[in-house]
Amino acid sequence: MTALVIRALTESDAHLFNSLQDPGLVGRVLNGVSYRTLAEGGEYRPDWTWVALRDGRVVARAAWWAGPDDAEPVMLNWFDFAEGEDEAGVELLRTSPLYAEYELTVPPHWRGQPAVRAAAEARFAAVTAAGMKPLVERFRYEWSPALGLPERPGRLVFRPEPDDGVIFEVLRRIHSATLDAHALRAIAGPGGLDAAAQEELDFFLWCPSPREWWQSAYTPEGELVGLHVPARNHQGPCIGFIGVVPEQRGHGYAYDLLAESTHVLAAEGAETVAAATDRSNHPMAATFAKAGYPVIQERIHFI
């Protein structure tokens, strides 16, 4: 078999990326995304896009994604290879100097769809062979005005919190007892609870949405309940964060926070609101269902 040539693309040959046929079973195509460079009005950078070529033909490809102002990739969210070229995909990931968490988008109930499952598991096998490990499976939700606004229970008082230091401390309290896999990974590292809180805060600041949207929630008696962050990421409106401090759990307050976030974004004209939670976070999944958020996709993460 002819040897592979593995390299990054350039602006002048970025079109090569689209020469590999995509059956559209999994991946970013499920979001209606096509590969285009930033210069073409898209989301990707040629120097963060690597291909494996055999006889000049693309047999594997990987595109790392980030926001327009980021200096390093945030996510590997496009990775595939031609039939029978699994090893080329593995070698591509091993050869590229880039690294970021891998996220694969799949349709709901994907394990019950043989062709979809085969496509997903082929990618899982390749990224695992390249040295990555599974982290978490997540539900992705999308609310729209046609679904109706979730009712506000009116139990809580919401206040803007302009002090990042206060937000940081609230995040520490919330993550001191968390089910979120990304937060648990940060907590298990050398930075501990501070690292988990800082990762959340960094994400809030990364989003190009108004800082004044962040709100703390209190009981009428003034006791802190938690934090909600309606946001816009680089794709559109989203639920940036919903968190209840441990001592206030068991009262269903996460629903109150989610309802408030949805109302804020709807008042800002959001035509859709994206959200996500870990499959294993059953309380939050139930909260999204109660608020009328349907699962539209699932996402699997490797690190």
The token pair at 214 is 């962040």
CB 301 within 8 A of CB 103: yes
| Chain segment 28-54, per-residue pLDDT in tens | 999 999 999 999 999 999 999 999 999
Assess whether 95 and 175 both reside in one domain. no
Residue 265 has pLDDT above 80, yes or no: yes
Q: Is residue 24 part of a domain?
A: yes
Q: Is residue 56 part of a domain?
A: yes
Of the three residues 132, 154, 177, the one that is the final residue of a domain is 132
pLDDT band at 263 (very low <50, low <70, confident <90, very high): very high
Residue 175 has pLDDT above 90, yes or no: yes
Q: Is residue 140 part of a domain?
A: no
Q: CA 31: distance to chain centroid?
A: 13
| Chain segment 250-259, per-residue pLDDT in tens | 999 999 999 9
| Chain segment 103-135, per-residue pLDDT in tens | 999 999 999 999 999 999 999 999 999 999 999
CB 64 within 8 A of CB 72: no
Q: Which residues contact 54 (CB under 8 A, 6 or more apart)?
A: 1, 2, 3, 4, 5, 85, 88
Q: Is residue 250 part of a domain?
A: yes
Assess whether 122 and 96 both reside in one domain. yes
Number of domains in the chain: 2
Assess whether 186 and 78 both reside in one domain. no
Assess whether 159 and 253 both reside in one domain. yes
| DSSP code for 14 | G
* DSSP collapsed to 3 states, 159-213: EECCCHHHHHHHHHHHHCCCCCHHHHHHHHCCCHHHHHHHHHHHHHHHCCCCHHH
**What mean pLDDT comes out for the span 15-27?**
96
**What mean pLDDT comes out for the span 148-170?**
97
CB 101 within 8 A of CB 86: no
Q: Is residue 137 part of a domain?
A: no
Q: What is the mean pLDDT of the chain?
A: 97
Q: Is residue 138 part of a domain?
A: no
Residue for token pair 């109302």: 263
Torsion, CA 263, CA 283, CA 288, CA 183, rounded to 10: 80
Give residue 276's identity as a one-letter amino acid code: A
Assess whether 124 and 204 both reside in one domain. no
**What mean pLDDT comes out for the span 162-186?**
98
**Could you tell me the residue range of the domain that residue 190 belongs to?**
145-302
| Chain segment 177-224, per-residue pLDDT in tens | 999 999 999 999 999 999 999 999 999 999 999 999 999 999 999 999
Assess whether 116 and 158 both reside in one domain. no
Assess whether 223 and 128 both reside in one domain. no
Of the three residues 110, 132, 154, the one that is the final residue of a domain is 132
Can you give the CATH number for the domain in which 36 is found? Answer: 3.40.630
Q: Is residue 255 part of a domain?
A: yes
Assess whether 88 and 191 both reside in one domain. no
Of the three residues 104, 132, 160, the one that is the final residue of a domain is 132
**What mean pLDDT comes out for the span 231-254?**
97
Assess whether 232 and 115 both reside in one domain. no
Assess whether 253 and 110 both reside in one domain. no
Assess whether 128 and 149 both reside in one domain. no
- Residue 2 has a pLDDT of 87
Assess whether 113 and 49 both reside in one domain. yes
Please report, in angstroms and rounded to a whole number, the separation of the first and last CA atoms in the chain. Answer: 31
Can you give the CATH number for the domain in which 200 is found? Answer: 3.40.630.30
- Residue 129 has a pLDDT of 98
Q: CA 269: distance to chain centroid?
A: 22
